[in-house]
Amino acid sequence: MGIINLSPDSFSGDGVSDVEVAVAQAQRMVAEGADILDVGGESTRPNPVPVSIDEEIKRVIPVIERLVAELAVPISVDTGKSEVARRALEAGAAMLNDQWGLKKDPGLAELAAENGVPVILMSNQRDKGGYDEGVQRDIALYEDVMAEITFSLRHSLELALRLGVPLENIILDPGIGFGKTWQQELEIIRRLGELKTLARPLLIGTSRKSFIKMVLDLPPDQRVEGTAATVAISIANGADIVRVHDVKQMVRVCRMSDAIVRSSQ
């Protein structure tokens, strides 16, 4: 999954605002081997500048319309707002990517059900509550990060099913970079296989993220090797989709990792 950031404050420094530049970036990613493109109009960095629904629609819809018309790969929209998702689906998007796992807007699941499209549900611990009334978590203090993530993802999965999303259309994401400590993020990759108990495909997004900086002390544009290590180990531990900025390099890592891990399948 190649990342198309349409937010100027993207943490990775690759945000674009011009439609033509975004389309060219997408074309290059597909040529390099991307299977899916994920288009987002609001930064997912910690404490981002809030983006209104109208502004997010203004950013993403023209790009999605062009990509759907010009490219054969499915387009995903990265948003936590059902109105943005609705407009994206009308423009031809084929997948929803909800960084809040339906905690903020369950309407995303209803849209996925109505339109028969897959939805990615992420475990996000940036707020300290929101799963159910009266239930609160603080991930930094929680004893077992994988137990917390499993709790979060199971809740999102069950909610999506109740709202009509078919089981086969649900993908889960443990949420690297969303309210965990950098040590916990290393642990998530190491223990990723434990999430296979949820019996859904796993997406992981480690690309250029700050936990790599904490290990290697490098800026975002120099984290490609660190990202490659996280991608290879994630695949070895059960990841089915990897969301990345550096498509050309990560496609090679994926193919080599698959040759080792999945060649017997």
**Is 103 one of the annotated active-site residues of the chain?**
no
Q: Which of 11, 22, 10, 131 is nearest to 66 (CA)?
A: 22
Structure-token pair, residue 103: 């905690």
Alpha carbons within 13 A on the beta-carbon side of 242: 33
CA distance 164 to 149: 23
Q: Which of 113, 202, 105, 107 is nearest to 150 (CA)?
A: 202
**Is 104 one of the annotated active-site residues of the chain?**
no
Q: Which of 112, 99, 147 is nearest to 243 (CA)?
A: 99
Name the active-site residue from 209, 223, 255, 262. Answer: 209
Name the active-site residue from 190, 243, 248, 262. Answer: 243
- First-to-last alpha carbon distance for the chain, in angstroms, is 22
> b/e map of 109-133 (b: 16 or more CB within 10 Å)?
bbbbbebebbbbbbbbbbeeebbee
Residue 92 gets the label, from left (phi > 0), alpha (psi -120 to 50) or beta, of: left
Catalytic residue annotation: 209, 243
